[in-house]
Structure 1
Amino acid sequence: MVLTIDVGNTRIKAAVFEGDSVLGKFVFEKNQLEKKIKNILEKFQNCSDLVVASVGNVEKQSFLTFEKQLNIHFLTHENAFPFVNKYATPKTLGIDRMVLAAGAVLQFPKQNRLVIDAGTCVTYDFIDESDHYLGGAISPGLQLRYETLHNFTAKLPLLELEVPESYIGNSTAQSIHSGIVNGFVYEIDGFIDEYRRNFSNFIIILTGGDTDFLAKRLKNTIFANSNFLLESLNQIFQYKIDND
Protein backbone atom coordinates (compact mmCIF):
# COMPACT_ATOMS: atom_id res chain seq x y z
CA MET A 1 0.00 0.00 0.00
CA VAL A 2 1.08 3.55 -0.77
CA LEU A 3 0.12 6.67 1.17
CA THR A 4 0.18 9.81 -1.01
CA ILE A 5 0.14 13.28 0.52
CA ASP A 6 -0.43 16.62 -1.20
CA VAL A 7 0.57 19.60 0.97
CA GLY A 8 -1.23 22.56 -0.55
CA ASN A 9 -1.27 26.25 0.27
CA THR A 10 -4.36 25.85 2.45
CA ARG A 11 -4.88 22.23 3.50
CA ILE A 12 -3.38 18.76 3.25
CA LYS A 13 -4.97 15.99 1.20
CA ALA A 14 -4.01 12.34 1.48
CA ALA A 15 -5.03 8.99 0.01
CA VAL A 16 -4.11 5.35 0.47
CA PHE A 17 -3.71 3.22 -2.66
CA GLU A 18 -3.33 -0.47 -3.32
CA GLY A 19 -2.31 -0.64 -6.95
CA ASP A 20 -4.66 1.78 -8.70
CA SER A 21 -7.48 1.35 -6.17
CA VAL A 22 -8.19 4.09 -3.63
CA LEU A 23 -8.74 2.59 -0.16
CA GLY A 24 -9.19 5.86 1.74
CA LYS A 25 -9.15 9.64 1.27
CA PHE A 26 -8.45 12.31 3.89
CA VAL A 27 -8.41 16.11 4.19
CA PHE A 28 -6.98 17.92 7.21
CA GLU A 29 -5.23 21.04 8.47
CA LYS A 30 -1.44 21.36 8.52
CA ASN A 31 -1.24 21.41 12.31
CA GLN A 32 -2.89 17.96 12.36
CA LEU A 33 -0.32 16.33 10.07
CA GLU A 34 1.51 13.96 12.41
CA LYS A 35 -1.65 12.94 14.29
CA LYS A 36 -3.51 12.21 11.04
CA ILE A 37 -0.66 10.20 9.51
CA LYS A 38 -0.47 8.15 12.70
CA ASN A 39 -4.23 7.48 12.52
CA ILE A 40 -4.01 6.50 8.85
CA LEU A 41 -1.15 4.07 9.51
CA GLU A 42 -3.07 2.50 12.38
CA LYS A 43 -5.97 1.86 10.02
CA PHE A 44 -3.87 0.77 7.02
CA GLN A 45 -1.07 -1.20 8.63
CA ASN A 46 0.24 -2.59 5.33
CA CYS A 47 1.34 0.83 4.05
CA SER A 48 4.97 0.55 2.99
CA ASP A 49 5.62 3.83 1.17
CA LEU A 50 4.81 7.50 1.67
CA VAL A 51 4.94 9.81 -1.37
CA VAL A 52 4.87 13.55 -0.67
CA ALA A 53 4.43 16.58 -2.92
CA SER A 54 4.51 19.88 -1.08
CA VAL A 55 4.01 23.52 -2.04
CA GLY A 56 2.93 24.45 1.49
CA ASN A 57 5.06 25.40 4.44
CA VAL A 58 5.46 22.08 6.29
CA GLU A 59 8.76 20.87 7.74
CA LYS A 60 10.18 17.63 6.34
CA GLN A 61 10.83 16.47 9.88
CA SER A 62 7.10 16.04 10.39
CA PHE A 63 7.19 13.27 7.79
CA LEU A 64 10.56 11.86 8.86
CA THR A 65 8.99 11.00 12.21
CA PHE A 66 7.58 7.96 10.38
CA GLU A 67 10.74 6.86 8.53
CA LYS A 68 11.03 3.70 10.64
CA GLN A 69 7.57 2.63 9.48
CA LEU A 70 7.64 3.75 5.86
CA ASN A 71 9.89 4.38 2.90
CA ILE A 72 9.50 8.13 2.43
CA HIS A 73 9.71 9.73 -1.00
CA PHE A 74 9.78 13.54 -1.35
CA LEU A 75 9.12 14.52 -4.96
CA THR A 76 11.52 17.19 -6.25
CA HIS A 77 12.60 18.61 -9.59
CA GLU A 78 15.38 16.03 -9.64
CA ASN A 79 12.97 13.11 -9.97
CA ALA A 80 12.29 11.48 -13.33
CA PHE A 81 9.06 12.74 -14.91
CA PRO A 82 7.38 11.30 -18.02
CA PHE A 83 7.57 14.53 -20.01
CA VAL A 84 10.15 16.96 -21.40
CA ASN A 85 10.06 20.21 -19.42
CA LYS A 86 10.12 23.13 -21.88
CA TYR A 87 9.37 25.77 -19.22
CA ALA A 88 11.76 28.71 -19.59
CA THR A 89 12.45 28.62 -15.84
CA PRO A 90 12.09 24.89 -15.03
CA LYS A 91 13.30 25.14 -11.43
CA THR A 92 10.50 27.58 -10.62
CA LEU A 93 7.75 25.27 -11.83
CA GLY A 94 5.76 24.15 -8.78
CA ILE A 95 6.08 20.49 -7.92
CA ASP A 96 2.29 20.23 -7.78
CA ARG A 97 2.06 21.40 -11.38
CA MET A 98 4.72 18.87 -12.39
CA VAL A 99 2.79 16.07 -10.68
CA LEU A 100 -0.42 17.06 -12.46
CA ALA A 101 1.38 17.17 -15.79
CA ALA A 102 2.87 13.73 -15.15
CA GLY A 103 -0.54 12.31 -14.27
CA ALA A 104 -2.01 13.73 -17.48
CA VAL A 105 0.74 12.11 -19.55
CA LEU A 106 0.42 8.74 -17.84
CA GLN A 107 -3.40 8.62 -17.84
CA PHE A 108 -4.01 10.18 -21.27
CA PRO A 109 -1.18 9.18 -23.62
CA LYS A 110 -0.67 10.70 -27.09
CA GLN A 111 -3.10 13.58 -26.62
CA ASN A 112 -2.85 17.30 -26.08
CA ARG A 113 -3.77 17.89 -22.43
CA LEU A 114 -4.75 20.97 -20.45
CA VAL A 115 -4.84 20.45 -16.67
CA ILE A 116 -6.79 23.07 -14.71
CA ASP A 117 -6.27 22.96 -10.94
CA ALA A 118 -8.82 25.18 -9.18
CA GLY A 119 -7.66 25.68 -5.61
CA THR A 120 -6.20 28.62 -3.69
CA CYS A 121 -4.85 29.63 -7.10
CA VAL A 122 -6.07 28.29 -10.41
CA THR A 123 -3.26 26.90 -12.53
CA TYR A 124 -3.33 25.91 -16.18
CA ASP A 125 -0.75 23.40 -17.43
CA PHE A 126 -0.43 22.31 -21.04
CA ILE A 127 1.36 19.16 -22.18
CA ASP A 128 1.31 18.44 -25.91
CA GLU A 129 0.80 15.07 -27.59
CA SER A 130 4.58 14.63 -27.88
CA ASP A 131 4.83 14.83 -24.05
CA HIS A 132 6.39 18.30 -24.02
CA TYR A 133 5.37 20.46 -21.07
CA LEU A 134 4.98 23.94 -22.60
CA GLY A 135 3.66 26.01 -19.68
CA GLY A 136 0.32 27.58 -18.84
CA ALA A 137 -1.02 30.27 -16.53
CA ILE A 138 -1.65 31.14 -12.88
CA SER A 139 -4.44 33.32 -11.50
CA PRO A 140 -6.27 33.79 -8.17
CA GLY A 141 -8.77 31.14 -7.10
CA LEU A 142 -12.35 31.83 -6.04
CA GLN A 143 -11.74 32.38 -2.32
CA LEU A 144 -8.68 34.51 -3.02
CA ARG A 145 -10.76 36.76 -5.28
CA TYR A 146 -13.32 37.35 -2.53
CA GLU A 147 -10.56 38.11 -0.02
CA THR A 148 -8.72 40.43 -2.39
CA LEU A 149 -11.81 42.55 -3.09
CA HIS A 150 -12.36 42.95 0.65
CA ASN A 151 -8.73 43.49 1.66
CA PHE A 152 -7.84 46.05 -1.00
CA THR A 153 -10.96 48.22 -0.85
CA ALA A 154 -12.36 50.38 1.90
CA LYS A 155 -15.99 49.28 1.96
CA LEU A 156 -16.55 46.05 0.06
CA PRO A 157 -17.57 43.22 2.42
CA LEU A 158 -15.94 39.81 2.66
CA LEU A 159 -18.53 37.37 1.34
CA GLU A 160 -18.77 33.60 1.20
CA LEU A 161 -18.99 31.87 -2.17
CA GLU A 162 -22.53 32.02 -3.53
CA VAL A 163 -24.04 31.38 -6.95
CA PRO A 164 -25.17 34.76 -8.33
CA GLU A 165 -28.87 35.20 -8.99
CA SER A 166 -28.16 36.89 -12.31
CA TYR A 167 -25.21 38.18 -14.29
CA ILE A 168 -26.70 41.61 -13.56
CA GLY A 169 -26.01 42.18 -9.87
CA ASN A 170 -28.79 44.31 -8.34
CA SER A 171 -26.95 44.90 -5.04
CA THR A 172 -23.34 45.23 -3.93
CA ALA A 173 -23.34 41.63 -2.70
CA GLN A 174 -24.88 40.29 -5.90
CA SER A 175 -22.49 42.40 -7.98
CA ILE A 176 -19.53 40.87 -6.16
CA HIS A 177 -20.87 37.34 -6.62
CA SER A 178 -21.57 37.98 -10.30
CA GLY A 179 -18.15 39.49 -10.92
CA ILE A 180 -16.21 36.80 -9.11
CA VAL A 181 -18.14 33.64 -10.03
CA ASN A 182 -19.07 34.56 -13.60
CA GLY A 183 -15.68 36.15 -14.21
CA PHE A 184 -13.97 32.98 -12.99
CA VAL A 185 -16.09 30.72 -15.21
CA TYR A 186 -15.63 33.00 -18.23
CA GLU A 187 -11.87 33.01 -17.65
CA ILE A 188 -11.62 29.22 -17.61
CA ASP A 189 -13.91 28.76 -20.60
CA GLY A 190 -11.93 31.46 -22.42
CA PHE A 191 -8.64 29.68 -21.85
CA ILE A 192 -10.14 26.36 -22.97
CA ASP A 193 -11.55 27.97 -26.14
CA GLU A 194 -8.15 29.46 -26.98
CA TYR A 195 -6.39 26.11 -26.59
CA ARG A 196 -9.07 24.38 -28.66
CA ARG A 197 -8.55 26.88 -31.48
CA ASN A 198 -4.87 25.99 -31.63
CA PHE A 199 -4.76 22.27 -30.83
CA SER A 200 -6.76 19.19 -31.82
CA ASN A 201 -6.86 15.72 -30.20
CA PHE A 202 -7.45 17.53 -26.93
CA ILE A 203 -8.56 16.68 -23.38
CA ILE A 204 -9.25 19.07 -20.49
CA ILE A 205 -8.72 17.78 -16.94
CA LEU A 206 -10.31 19.80 -14.14
CA THR A 207 -9.19 19.19 -10.56
CA GLY A 208 -8.76 20.95 -7.22
CA GLY A 209 -11.06 21.98 -4.39
CA ASP A 210 -13.52 23.88 -6.58
CA THR A 211 -13.90 21.07 -9.14
CA ASP A 212 -17.51 20.15 -8.35
CA PHE A 213 -18.64 23.77 -8.23
CA LEU A 214 -17.05 24.60 -11.58
CA ALA A 215 -17.87 21.39 -13.44
CA LYS A 216 -21.58 22.26 -13.38
CA ARG A 217 -20.98 25.73 -14.84
CA LEU A 218 -18.38 25.39 -17.57
CA LYS A 219 -19.70 25.23 -21.11
CA ASN A 220 -16.82 23.07 -22.32
CA THR A 221 -16.66 19.29 -21.98
CA ILE A 222 -14.13 18.33 -19.33
CA PHE A 223 -12.82 15.35 -17.39
CA ALA A 224 -13.47 16.35 -13.76
CA ASN A 225 -11.57 14.62 -10.96
CA SER A 226 -10.98 16.43 -7.67
CA ASN A 227 -8.47 13.73 -6.63
CA PHE A 228 -6.35 13.86 -9.77
CA LEU A 229 -3.22 15.09 -7.98
CA LEU A 230 -3.29 12.29 -5.40
CA GLU A 231 -3.87 9.72 -8.14
CA SER A 232 -1.01 11.26 -10.10
CA LEU A 233 1.30 10.91 -7.09
CA ASN A 234 0.51 7.21 -6.96
CA GLN A 235 1.13 6.87 -10.70
CA ILE A 236 4.47 8.69 -10.48
CA PHE A 237 5.52 6.33 -7.71
CA GLN A 238 4.71 3.35 -9.96
CA TYR A 239 6.49 5.08 -12.86
CA LYS A 240 9.57 5.54 -10.68
CA ILE A 241 9.60 1.85 -9.75
CA ASP A 242 9.26 0.82 -13.41
CA ASN A 243 12.05 3.15 -14.56
CA ASP A 244 14.64 2.71 -11.80
Structure 2
Amino acid sequence: MKTNKMNPLYLDIGNSFLKLAARNGSDWQILFDGKHDRIDEMISYLASKGDKGKIILSSVRQDISEKLRAELSDRNFIEYRSSHIPSNRLDYKTPQTLGLDRFLVCLAAWIESDERNVIVIDAGSACTVDLMTTKGVFRGGIIMPGLQIIKSSMRDHLPELPKAPESIPEEWPGKSTVECIEWGVNGGFLLAVQGFIERYRSMVEDPVIYITGGNAVQIMNWMSEEASLNYRKYLIWEGLEQFEKIIRE
Protein backbone atom coordinates (compact mmCIF):
# COMPACT_ATOMS: atom_id res chain seq x y z
CA MET A 1 0.00 0.00 0.00
CA LYS A 2 1.30 3.43 -0.94
CA THR A 3 0.00 6.14 1.31
CA ASN A 4 -0.51 9.71 0.15
CA LYS A 5 2.80 11.48 0.59
CA MET A 6 1.31 14.08 2.92
CA ASN A 7 -0.79 11.68 4.98
CA PRO A 8 0.28 11.81 8.64
CA LEU A 9 1.63 8.81 10.47
CA TYR A 10 0.18 7.95 13.86
CA LEU A 11 2.43 6.63 16.62
CA ASP A 12 1.25 5.15 19.90
CA ILE A 13 3.94 4.54 22.53
CA GLY A 14 2.35 2.35 25.17
CA ASN A 15 3.63 0.76 28.33
CA SER A 16 5.31 -2.08 26.40
CA PHE A 17 4.91 -1.54 22.66
CA LEU A 18 5.61 0.94 19.87
CA LYS A 19 2.90 0.96 17.22
CA LEU A 20 2.98 3.03 14.05
CA ALA A 21 0.01 3.25 11.70
CA ALA A 22 -1.29 5.13 8.68
CA ARG A 23 -4.79 5.70 7.40
CA ASN A 24 -5.61 3.40 4.49
CA GLY A 25 -8.96 4.56 3.13
CA SER A 26 -11.58 3.58 5.70
CA ASP A 27 -9.15 1.22 7.45
CA TRP A 28 -5.69 1.38 9.01
CA GLN A 29 -2.35 -0.14 8.10
CA ILE A 30 0.05 -1.06 10.89
CA LEU A 31 3.54 -0.10 9.72
CA PHE A 32 5.51 -1.10 12.81
CA ASP A 33 4.59 -3.07 15.93
CA GLY A 34 7.26 -4.02 18.43
CA LYS A 35 8.42 -3.79 22.02
CA HIS A 36 10.40 -0.84 23.33
CA ASP A 37 13.69 -2.64 22.86
CA ARG A 38 13.12 -2.37 19.09
CA ILE A 39 13.10 1.42 19.14
CA ASP A 40 16.25 1.58 17.00
CA GLU A 41 14.44 -0.43 14.31
CA MET A 42 11.58 2.05 14.35
CA ILE A 43 14.00 4.97 14.13
CA SER A 44 15.70 3.34 11.13
CA TYR A 45 12.35 2.70 9.49
CA LEU A 46 11.23 6.32 9.89
CA ALA A 47 14.62 7.66 8.82
CA SER A 48 14.45 5.61 5.61
CA LYS A 49 11.12 7.07 4.53
CA GLY A 50 11.32 9.86 1.99
CA ASP A 51 7.97 11.16 3.21
CA LYS A 52 8.62 13.93 5.73
CA GLY A 53 4.97 14.43 6.69
CA LYS A 54 3.92 14.95 10.27
CA ILE A 55 3.90 12.20 12.89
CA ILE A 56 1.00 12.40 15.36
CA LEU A 57 2.20 10.98 18.65
CA SER A 58 0.64 9.77 21.88
CA SER A 59 3.03 8.42 24.51
CA VAL A 60 2.97 7.13 28.07
CA ARG A 61 6.78 6.87 27.98
CA GLN A 62 8.43 10.26 27.67
CA ASP A 63 11.92 8.73 27.61
CA ILE A 64 10.99 6.88 24.42
CA SER A 65 9.37 9.88 22.74
CA GLU A 66 12.33 12.10 23.66
CA LYS A 67 14.74 9.63 22.07
CA LEU A 68 12.66 9.61 18.88
CA ARG A 69 12.70 13.40 18.71
CA ALA A 70 16.45 13.52 19.28
CA GLU A 71 17.25 10.85 16.66
CA LEU A 72 14.75 12.20 14.11
CA SER A 73 15.16 15.93 14.62
CA ASP A 74 14.20 16.61 11.00
CA ARG A 75 10.73 15.08 11.41
CA ASN A 76 7.62 17.02 12.34
CA PHE A 77 6.35 15.39 15.55
CA ILE A 78 3.05 16.58 16.97
CA GLU A 79 2.73 15.10 20.43
CA TYR A 80 -0.62 15.19 22.17
CA ARG A 81 -0.70 14.96 25.94
CA SER A 82 -3.39 14.80 28.60
CA SER A 83 -2.86 18.53 29.22
CA HIS A 84 -4.39 19.12 25.76
CA ILE A 85 -7.73 17.59 26.80
CA PRO A 86 -10.31 20.38 27.23
CA SER A 87 -11.26 20.73 30.90
CA ASN A 88 -14.96 20.36 30.10
CA ARG A 89 -14.19 16.88 28.76
CA LEU A 90 -12.75 15.56 32.03
CA ASP A 91 -14.18 14.47 35.35
CA TYR A 92 -10.85 13.34 36.78
CA LYS A 93 -8.96 14.50 39.87
CA THR A 94 -5.43 14.18 38.48
CA PRO A 95 -5.49 14.98 34.74
CA GLN A 96 -1.71 15.48 34.80
CA THR A 97 -1.26 11.75 35.45
CA LEU A 98 -3.93 10.51 33.05
CA GLY A 99 -2.58 8.42 30.19
CA LEU A 100 -3.90 10.06 27.04
CA ASP A 101 -4.50 6.66 25.44
CA ARG A 102 -7.33 6.02 27.91
CA PHE A 103 -9.09 9.17 26.79
CA LEU A 104 -8.44 8.50 23.11
CA VAL A 105 -10.00 5.03 22.99
CA CYS A 106 -13.05 6.33 24.83
CA LEU A 107 -13.30 9.29 22.45
CA ALA A 108 -13.24 7.00 19.40
CA ALA A 109 -15.86 4.69 20.92
CA TRP A 110 -18.08 7.63 21.89
CA ILE A 111 -17.98 9.04 18.35
CA GLU A 112 -18.68 5.65 16.76
CA SER A 113 -21.61 5.05 19.14
CA ASP A 114 -23.26 8.33 18.08
CA GLU A 115 -22.41 9.97 21.40
CA ARG A 116 -23.90 7.41 23.75
CA ASN A 117 -22.54 6.33 27.13
CA VAL A 118 -19.57 4.05 26.43
CA ILE A 119 -17.51 1.64 28.49
CA VAL A 120 -14.11 0.83 26.97
CA ILE A 121 -12.02 -2.17 27.98
CA ASP A 122 -8.42 -1.74 26.80
CA ALA A 123 -6.82 -5.10 27.48
CA GLY A 124 -3.10 -4.56 27.01
CA SER A 125 -0.07 -4.71 29.30
CA ALA A 126 -2.30 -2.88 31.72
CA CYS A 127 -6.05 -3.41 31.53
CA THR A 128 -8.22 -0.32 31.83
CA VAL A 129 -12.01 -0.20 32.02
CA ASP A 130 -13.18 3.39 31.55
CA LEU A 131 -16.38 5.36 31.09
CA MET A 132 -17.27 8.26 28.81
CA THR A 133 -20.75 9.73 29.05
CA THR A 134 -23.13 11.11 26.44
CA LYS A 135 -21.64 14.61 26.70
CA GLY A 136 -18.22 13.25 25.77
CA VAL A 137 -16.93 13.57 29.33
CA PHE A 138 -14.30 11.08 30.48
CA ARG A 139 -15.42 9.92 33.93
CA GLY A 140 -12.41 7.77 34.85
CA GLY A 141 -12.31 4.08 35.62
CA ILE A 142 -9.87 1.39 36.71
CA ILE A 143 -6.33 0.29 35.94
CA MET A 144 -5.22 -3.21 36.80
CA PRO A 145 -2.45 -5.54 35.65
CA GLY A 146 -3.09 -7.02 32.23
CA LEU A 147 -3.64 -10.73 31.78
CA GLN A 148 -0.07 -11.42 30.62
CA ILE A 149 1.42 -9.59 33.60
CA ILE A 150 -0.71 -11.66 35.97
CA LYS A 151 0.40 -14.86 34.26
CA SER A 152 4.07 -13.89 34.17
CA SER A 153 3.87 -12.98 37.86
CA MET A 154 2.51 -16.45 38.61
CA ARG A 155 5.35 -18.04 36.64
CA ASP A 156 8.00 -15.89 38.31
CA HIS A 157 6.82 -16.13 41.89
CA LEU A 158 5.04 -19.51 41.96
CA PRO A 159 7.16 -21.63 39.61
CA GLU A 160 6.10 -24.88 41.23
CA LEU A 161 2.55 -24.45 39.97
CA PRO A 162 1.54 -25.71 36.51
CA LYS A 163 0.86 -23.30 33.67
CA ALA A 164 -2.78 -22.39 33.17
CA PRO A 165 -4.36 -23.07 29.76
CA GLU A 166 -6.11 -20.24 27.91
CA SER A 167 -9.54 -21.29 29.13
CA ILE A 168 -11.99 -21.17 32.01
CA PRO A 169 -13.40 -24.48 33.32
CA GLU A 170 -17.10 -25.16 32.87
CA GLU A 171 -17.28 -26.71 36.33
CA TRP A 172 -17.21 -24.62 39.50
CA PRO A 173 -15.26 -24.85 41.75
CA GLY A 174 -12.03 -26.13 40.22
CA LYS A 175 -11.46 -29.84 40.81
CA SER A 176 -7.79 -30.00 39.88
CA THR A 177 -4.82 -27.73 40.46
CA VAL A 178 -4.87 -26.65 36.81
CA GLU A 179 -8.61 -25.89 36.98
CA CYS A 180 -8.09 -23.92 40.19
CA ILE A 181 -5.38 -21.85 38.51
CA GLU A 182 -7.62 -21.33 35.47
CA TRP A 183 -10.35 -20.01 37.72
CA GLY A 184 -7.95 -17.92 39.78
CA VAL A 185 -6.14 -16.34 36.82
CA ASN A 186 -8.47 -16.34 33.82
CA GLY A 187 -11.73 -16.54 35.75
CA GLY A 188 -10.60 -13.99 38.32
CA PHE A 189 -9.58 -11.56 35.59
CA LEU A 190 -12.90 -12.01 33.78
CA LEU A 191 -14.99 -11.63 36.94
CA ALA A 192 -13.15 -8.42 37.78
CA VAL A 193 -13.87 -6.93 34.34
CA GLN A 194 -17.52 -8.04 34.46
CA GLY A 195 -17.90 -6.59 37.94
CA PHE A 196 -16.61 -3.19 36.80
CA ILE A 197 -19.01 -3.23 33.84
CA GLU A 198 -21.94 -3.91 36.16
CA ARG A 199 -20.94 -0.99 38.38
CA TYR A 200 -20.96 1.31 35.36
CA ARG A 201 -24.33 -0.04 34.28
CA SER A 202 -25.71 0.99 37.66
CA MET A 203 -24.44 4.55 37.03
CA VAL A 204 -25.47 5.27 33.44
CA GLU A 205 -28.24 4.25 31.08
CA ASP A 206 -27.71 1.67 28.34
CA PRO A 207 -23.92 1.94 27.85
CA VAL A 208 -22.30 0.56 24.71
CA ILE A 209 -19.32 -1.64 25.55
CA TYR A 210 -16.15 -1.64 23.43
CA ILE A 211 -13.03 -3.73 23.77
CA THR A 212 -9.57 -3.24 22.28
CA GLY A 213 -5.97 -4.23 23.04
CA GLY A 214 -3.77 -7.27 22.68
CA ASN A 215 -5.89 -9.61 24.82
CA ALA A 216 -9.23 -8.37 23.51
CA VAL A 217 -10.07 -11.43 21.40
CA GLN A 218 -9.32 -13.81 24.28
CA ILE A 219 -11.52 -11.83 26.65
CA MET A 220 -14.29 -11.66 24.04
CA ASN A 221 -14.27 -15.45 23.81
CA TRP A 222 -14.81 -15.60 27.55
CA MET A 223 -17.51 -12.90 27.49
CA SER A 224 -19.57 -14.25 24.60
CA GLU A 225 -22.78 -13.65 26.53
CA GLU A 226 -22.15 -9.89 26.46
CA ALA A 227 -24.43 -9.01 23.54
CA SER A 228 -23.24 -5.40 23.35
CA LEU A 229 -19.51 -6.14 23.34
CA ASN A 230 -17.89 -4.50 20.31
CA TYR A 231 -14.32 -5.39 19.29
CA ARG A 232 -12.42 -2.53 17.66
CA LYS A 233 -8.76 -3.21 16.95
CA TYR A 234 -7.88 0.34 15.93
CA LEU A 235 -9.62 2.51 18.53
CA ILE A 236 -6.37 4.23 19.52
CA TRP A 237 -5.76 5.39 15.94
CA GLU A 238 -9.34 6.56 15.52
CA GLY A 239 -9.02 8.53 18.75
CA LEU A 240 -5.74 10.13 17.73
CA GLU A 241 -7.24 11.15 14.41
CA GLN A 242 -10.28 12.72 16.09
CA PHE A 243 -8.43 14.36 18.96
CA GLU A 244 -7.29 17.42 17.02
CA LYS A 245 -10.92 18.24 16.27
CA ILE A 246 -12.03 18.35 19.88
CA ILE A 247 -9.13 20.49 21.09
CA ARG A 248 -10.15 23.08 18.50
CA GLU A 249 -13.77 23.21 19.68
Question: How far apart are the structure 1 equivalents of 2:164 and 2:175?
Answer: 17
Work out whether 1:5 is the aligned partner of 2:19. no
**1:1-244 alignment to 2 at 5 Å?**
1-17=7-23, 20-39=26-45, 42=48, 45-46=50-51, 48-56=53-61, 57-68=63-74, 70-81=75-86, 84-153=89-158, 155-157=160-162, 159=163, 162-167=166-171, 168-218=173-223, 219-220=225-226, 221-237=228-244, 239=246, 243=248
| Structure 2 alignment gaps of length 5 or more | 1-6
Distance in 2 (CA, whole Å) between partners of 1:134 and 1:76 is 17
Query: Aligned partners of 2:216 and 2:161: how far apart in 1?
Result: 27
TM (normalized to structure 2)? 0.82
SS of match in other structure, 2:57? strand
Identity %: 25
The aligned amino acid for 1:210 is N
Provide the TM-score with structure 1 as the length reference.
0.83
- Match of 1:163, SS state, is coil
Distance in structure 2 (CA, Å) of the matches to 1:104 and 1:83: 18
Give the whole-Å Cα distance in 1 for the aligned partners of 2:213 and 2:56: 19
Q: The residue matched to 1:198 in structure 2 has which SS?
A: coil
CA contact 1:82–1:106 (8 Å) conserved in 2: no
Name segments (4+ residues, structure 1) moved above 6 Å. none
- Provide, for residues 99-122 of structure 1, a one-character-per-residue CA deviation record: whole Å limited to 9, x for no partner: 223323433343111111111121
Aligned residue for 2:4? none
Q: What are the superposed Cα offsets for residues 2-27 of structure 1, whole Å, 9 maximum, x if unpaired?
A: 21111122222221125754234431
Deviations 1:19-67 (A, max 9, x none): 7542344311212224224435646x44611112122352512234224
Q: How far apart are residue 152 of structure 1 and its match?
A: 4.4
Output the CA distance in 2 between the equivalents of 1:110 and 1:82: 18
SS of residue matched to 2:208? strand
1:207 Cα offset (Å): 0.8
Structure 1 residues 101 and 67, CA gap change in structure 2 (3 angstroms): farther
Shift of 1:225: 1.2
